[in-house]
């Protein structure tokens, strides 16, 4: 758990973060979103004390983060950034093994962990272990950067625009991988992004910053339905809002009895993807199938539209 209490930071007399309080629960995935210069990175870096707070306290699992030394704190918290920060003259294995090395792990234990992480990130250890960063694609470098941040099994992982430099296709894949890894390892993740789509897709809760202030901290659907201010509403994108809300419900929520023609869609599909199917198939109702491809009912465009607009 990370408890941020009344934290402020100024640079040259100008406030960068203003009196922010928020509690991030263990195993939670929190995204911090906001415009450029809104204080996201400053807030993130105060957690691992790459930036010191001017006022307020940050407690990690109940302990003030100033009660341990900065280097010691940073060995226990993973940190991944956009420029991945890999050491160019060290191999992939040496890069990933950096923190375990500092913590005094044996060569054998570190080697096992390196291979385990490479496999987790779908990089064959036999091929990639001994490569150097310049021998990897941008997406692979990024994955190695995140693997390195997770090497010593930190309970907390801080990420600053980790996918910013990736092209959209690889970026989506990287997000999915991260989501799976978070579920698998239960790591508490705090991730800064300026991409609302990314914040909504990944965050269990989203923290929205504006001019150094935390203006809303809530679950994605809540932010969409009840934006705390006009600024949040504009960030969410008024026009996009109905589609984004549809992404949080699935076809199985709206199954009804009856037969429909057309190519069956999965009950697991999000309503947003279902809407695309209605358009692609040119239908107003579609059959719904379960995991065993059995037809279990139908969904109508009418019910989807009513759900999307919030009309019962």
Cα 29 → chain centroid:
6
DSSP state of 25: P
Alpha-carbon torsion (280, 285, 288, 293), positive or negative: negative
Q: How far is the CB of 208 from ligand ATP (least distance, A)?
A: 11
Q: How far is the CB of 18 from ligand ATP (least distance, A)?
A: 11
Q: In what order do the strands lie in the sheet with 63-64?
A: 14-24, 2-11, 55-60, 63-64
Shorter beta-carbon distance to ligand ATP: residue 197 or 252: 197
Q: How far is the CB of 16 from ligand ATP (least distance, A)?
A: 3
Q: How far is the CB of 96 from ligand ATP (least distance, A)?
A: 26
Shorter beta-carbon distance to ligand ATP: residue 50 or 185: 50
Shorter beta-carbon distance to ligand ATP: residue 52 or 135: 52
Shorter beta-carbon distance to ligand ATP: residue 145 or 267: 145
Question: What DSSP string describes 42-107?
Answer: HHHHHHTTSS--SEEEEEETTEETTSS-HHHHHHHEEEEETT----TTS-HHHHHTHHHHHTT--H
Applying CB under 6 A, the residues found at the interface with ligand ATP are: 11-12, 16, 34, 36-42, 194
Q: How far is the CB of 190 from ligand ATP (least distance, A)?
A: 13
Shorter beta-carbon distance to ligand ATP: residue 34 or 154: 34
Structure tokens at 259: 């037969």
CA distances to 99, 266, 271 from 249, in Å: 41, 13, 6
Length of the chain: 312
Number of H helices, E strands in the chain: 14, 13
CA distances to 72, 255, 270 from 179, in Å: 27, 27, 17
Q: How far is the CB of 82 from ligand ATP (least distance, A)?
A: 9
Shorter beta-carbon distance to ligand ATP: residue 42 or 298: 42
What span, in angstroms and rounded, lies between the C-alpha atoms of 44 and 58?
11
Shorter beta-carbon distance to ligand ATP: residue 34 or 133: 34
Shorter beta-carbon distance to ligand ATP: residue 75 or 84: 84
Q: How far is the CB of 214 from ligand ATP (least distance, A)?
A: 12
CA distances to 73, 86, 134 from 70, in Å: 5, 21, 30
Q: How far is the CB of 69 from ligand ATP (least distance, A)?
A: 21
What span, in angstroms and rounded, lies between the C-alpha atoms of 308 and 35?
28
């Amino acid at each position: 758990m990370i408890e941020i209490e009344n934290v402020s930071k100024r640079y040259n007399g100008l406030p960068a973060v203003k009196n922010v309080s928020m509690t991030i629960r263990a195993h939670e995935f929190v995204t911090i979103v906001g415009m450029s210069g809104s204080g996201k990175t400053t807030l993130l870096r105060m957690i691992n004390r790459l930036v010191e707070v001017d006022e307020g306290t940050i407690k990690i699992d109940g302990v003030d983060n100033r009660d341990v030394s900065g280097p010691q704190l940073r060995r226990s918290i993973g940190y991944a950034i956009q420029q991945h920060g890999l050491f160019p003259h060290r191999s992939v294995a040496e890069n990933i093994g950096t923190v375990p090395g500092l913590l005094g792990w044996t060569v054998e234990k570190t080697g096992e962990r390196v291979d385990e992480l490479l496999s987790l990130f779908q990089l064959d250890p036999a091929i990639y272990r001994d490569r150097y960063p310049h021998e990897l694609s941008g997406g692979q470098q990024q994955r190695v950067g995140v693997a390195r941040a997770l090497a010593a099994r930190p309970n907390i992982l801080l990420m600053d625009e980790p996918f910013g430099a990736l092209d959209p296709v690889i970026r989506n894949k990287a997000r999915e991988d991260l989501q799976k890894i978070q579920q698998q390892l239960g790591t508490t993740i705090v991730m800064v992004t300026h991409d609302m789509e990314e914040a909504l897709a990944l965050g269990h809760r989203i923290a929205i910053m504006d001019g150094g202030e935390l203006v809303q901290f809530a679950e994605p659907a809540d932010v969409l339905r009840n934006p705390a201010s006009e600024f949040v509403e504009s960030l969410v994108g008024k026009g996009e809002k109905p589609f984004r809300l549809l992404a949080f419900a699935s076809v199985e929520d709206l199954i009804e009895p009856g037969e429909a023609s057309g190519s069956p869609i999965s009950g697991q599909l999000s309503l947003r993807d279902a809407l695309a199917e209605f358009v692609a198939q040119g239908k107003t109702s579609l059959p719904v199938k379960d995991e065993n491809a059995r037809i279990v009912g139908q969904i109508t465009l009418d019910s989807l539209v009513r759900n999307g607009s919030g009309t019962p």
